[in-house]
Amino acid sequence: MKRYNSKLFLLILLGMLSAFGPFVTDMYLPTLPSMSDYFATTSSMVQLGLTTSMIGLAVGQIFFGPLSDRYGRRLPLLVSMWLFILSTICCMLSTNIQLFVAFRLVQGIAGAGGIVISRSIATDKFSGRGLANMLAVIGAINGIAPVAAPVIGGVFTDLIGWQGIFGILLVLGVILLAASMYLNESLPVERRLTSKWADTFKSFKIVLCNGRYVAYVLQLAFAQGILFANIASSPFIVQQHYGFSALAFSFCFSINAVAIGVAAALSVKFRKLENATLTGCVGMLILAVVECAALMSNCSFWIYESVLLVLLFTMGLTFTSSTTLAMESARNNSGTASALLGAFCFASGGIVSPLVGLGNILSSTGIIFVVSAVLSLACILIAKKMKPVADCSAIG
C-alpha cells in the first residue's frame, strides 16, 4: 500500500532541506581560527573552503534541478543525500587543507540537491495560496538559518571542535536521508521531461525567456545581497567597531534572525503577493538609506542595530512572496526554475560578501545596502509591468 506523506511531514522535511545551504556554509565559521592551527595553514586558505562550498551550492542546484525534472524528485534527492554524507565524512578525515577544500566543493554540490528539490516538491504538491503558505515556512527557515547557523556553531565550537561541527552536519544528513527514503514521489511520470539527455539543460533557455520569472528571481537575489552583506560585515562592526563580546554579537544575530523569519511568515497575509514584495522593497530602500547615513556618521550601536532590525524585517517580507511568484511563473519547469533561483541567490552572496571588506567597512556596508535595495525595487517594478508568459516551450 502506498504511503501517505502528511502536510506536517512535508513541512518539516522541506524546511530542513531548505536550511541545508546556510548550515553547510556558515555553521563552521567560528571554528576557522582553530582550523588554521590544525592544518598549519593561513586563514585565507581555510576560508577558501567557504568559497568552494558556495560555488558548489550554486552549481549543484543547476545540476540537480533539471535532473529532478527528468527523473523525478525522489531519486536525485536520495543521490544528493548519500553524496552529502560521504563528502562530510571525507571533510572530517581530511589530512591537509587541499583535500578539505576539494571535499567542501563536493559537499556544497550535494547540499544543493536538497535545497533545489525542496522547492520543486512544494511546487508539485501545492499551488496558489497553498504554495505560498508552504513556501512561507521554507522562506522563514531560509531567513533564520544563515544567521542562526554561526550562532549554533559558536556554542559547540569550544566543546567539540571543527570536526565535531561536521559531525553534527553528518547526523543531519543521515536524518534527512532516512526521511527522504520515506518520501513519496511528487512528480508523476507523465509530467517529467522526455527529451534526450543532451536536451535536458535546454529547459534553462525556456525558463530564462520568462521575463517575469527572471525579474522575481533578480529581486530576490538583490534582497539576499543585503542579507549576505550583513552576515559578512556584522561580526566586525559589532565586535571590533562597537567592542561587544562574541556572546552579545550572537544575541543580536538571533534577534535579527527572528525578525526575518517573522516577516517571511507574515508576507502571506497580504491580499496580493506582489504587494508584499513591493512593500518590502520600498521599506528596504528607505531603511537602507537611513542605515547608510547612520553608519557613515559613526552612529551609536543602538541606532545601527535598531535600523538594521527593521531593514532585515522588510527584506524578509520579500522572501516568501518573490519565491512563490517566481515558481508560479515557471511551474512547467519547476526543477529548473528552482535551480536558477537558488544559483542566483548564492551567486549574489558570493559576490557581495567580500565587497564589504573594501575600504572602510562601515561605508562599504552602507553603500552595498543601498545599491542592493535600489536594484531590488527596480526588479519588482519591472515585473509588475510584464504580462504572464503562458508557454515558452516553443522557444528553441
Considering only residues 25 and 375, tell me which one the structure prediction assigns the higher pLDDT: 375
Q: Which fold has domain 201-388?
A: Growth Hormone; Chain: A; (1.20.1250)
Which amino acid would we find at residue 50? L
pLDDT above 60: residue 215: yes
Of 149-163, 264-278, 286-300, the least confident: 149-163
Which amino acid would we find at residue 335? G
pLDDT (tens digit per residue) in 90-112: 999 998 989 998 999 999 899 88
pLDDT (tens digit per residue) in 245-289: 766 777 787 788 788 878 887 887 888 888 888 999 999 999 999
pLDDT above 60: residue 389: no
pLDDT above 90: residue 1: no
Burial profile 37-65: b = 16 or more Cβ within 10 angstroms, e = fewer: ebbebeeeebbbbbbbbbbbbbbbbbbbb
Region 345-363 average pLDDT = 79
Which amino acid would we find at residue 39? F
- Contact criterion met (CB below 8 Å) for 10 and 135: no
CA 160 to chain centre: 26
Measured distance CA(213)–CA(386) in Å, rounded = 10
Contacts of 328 (CB under 8 A, 6+ apart): 123, 127, 128, 131
Assigned C-alpha cell, 257: 534572525
Contacts of 232 (CB under 8 A, 6+ apart): 352, 353, 354, 356, 357
CATH code 1.20.1250.20 region(s) in the chain: 1-186, 201-388
pLDDT above 80: residue 13: yes
CA 331 to chain centre: 20
Backbone angles phi, psi at 86, to 5 degrees: -65, -45
Burial profile 314-332: b = 16 or more Cβ within 10 angstroms, e = fewer: bbbbbbbbbbbbbbbbbeb
Rg (CA), the chain: 20
CATH class of 1-186: mainly alpha
Which amino acid would we find at residue 203? S
Residue 340: pLDDT band with limits 50, 70, 90: confident
Residue 201: pLDDT band with limits 50, 70, 90: low
Assigned C-alpha cell, 16: 530542513
Burial profile 254-281: b = 16 or more Cβ within 10 angstroms, e = fewer: eebbbbbbbbbbbbbebeebbebbbbbb
